[in-house]
Amino acid sequence: MIAILKKELWSYFGNWSAWIIIAAFSIIGTLFLFFFENDSNIFEIGTASLQSYFVLAPWLLMFLIPAISMKSIAEEQQSGTLYWLFAQPVKVSEIILGKYFAILLVGVACLLPSLVYLYTVYILGVPAGNIDLGATAGSYLGLIILTATFSAVGILASSFTQNQIVAYLSGVFLCFIFYFGIEQLANYKLLGGADYFLSKLGFYQHFLAFTRGLIDLQDVCYFMLIIVICLFLATKFVQKKK
């Protein structure tokens, strides 16, 4: 698994693709938080808080993580190198895990530049340092866990097709449905009392708890379960190709 992880990290960082994605994530975040006139602009909100960033970041990750993960399996199959991997003394599960952790690390690297936002808001507070660090730390943890979940969904999407475009669109669609689609469906209140349980099937409500500074074991276990299910299904899809 370690060898696969190193190979994947080199493929991302060695050809500038990861750096471009990290830069794009940071630039878009900066524009929305400090320059564009919108509800996320920190200066317009007038509050020393990164809450708007934690609302914006999942939407950016929803499109960027599938862009990172789309080639993980699809490209290997399209180029024929997947069958070379099958011939190596490595389990299919190790291939999936190695690629998954590489995607996750790139995703987490996208979040690191946001520490500049944190420092900026910390300084701009009146008085300086007037920021809820507990809620901010919980929000960052939730964002990392959400990144891990999007990464698992992305590699699942890449595992059942050899077309990278299809893998990307499938990854974006699945992330959108689980994060926003299910929540919106529950808001229509078509199922009566069952709408509450429907909303709990999506990512949004569980992530929202983290942004409030509430770290609930149930929310952590929920995301861990989704990750395990996605990686298990991805392993099964790849095993069928073998």
Percent of the chain with pLDDT over 70: 95
Q: Give the type of residue at 170.
A: S
User: What pLDDT score does 94 carry?
Assistant: 92
Q: Identify the band that residue 185 occupies on the pLDDT scale cut at 50, 70 and 90.
A: confident
Q: Give the type of residue at 190.
A: L
User: What pLDDT score does 120 carry?
Assistant: 86
Over residues 21-49, mean pLDDT? 83
Taken as a whole, the chain contains a residue count of: 242
Residues 6+ apart with CB under 8 A from 11: 17
Q: What is the pTM of this model?
A: 0.92
Measured CA to CA, the distance from residue 217 to residue 107 in angstroms comes to 23
pLDDT at 201 over 90: no
DSSP annotation string for 9-66: HHHHHTTSHHHHHHHHHHHHHHIIIIIS-STT-HHHHTSS--HHHHHHHHHHHHHHHH
Among the ranges given (20-24, 140-144, 193-197), the one the predictor scored with the smallest mean pLDDT: 193-197
User: What pLDDT score does 215 carry?
Assistant: 85
Q: Identify the band that residue 227 occupies on the pLDDT scale cut at 50, 70 and 90.
A: very high
Assess contact for 78 and 162: CB atoms under 8 A. Answer: yes
Among the ranges given (12-16, 131-135, 193-197), the one the predictor scored with the smallest mean pLDDT: 193-197
Closest by CA position to 107, among listed 74, 61, 142:
61
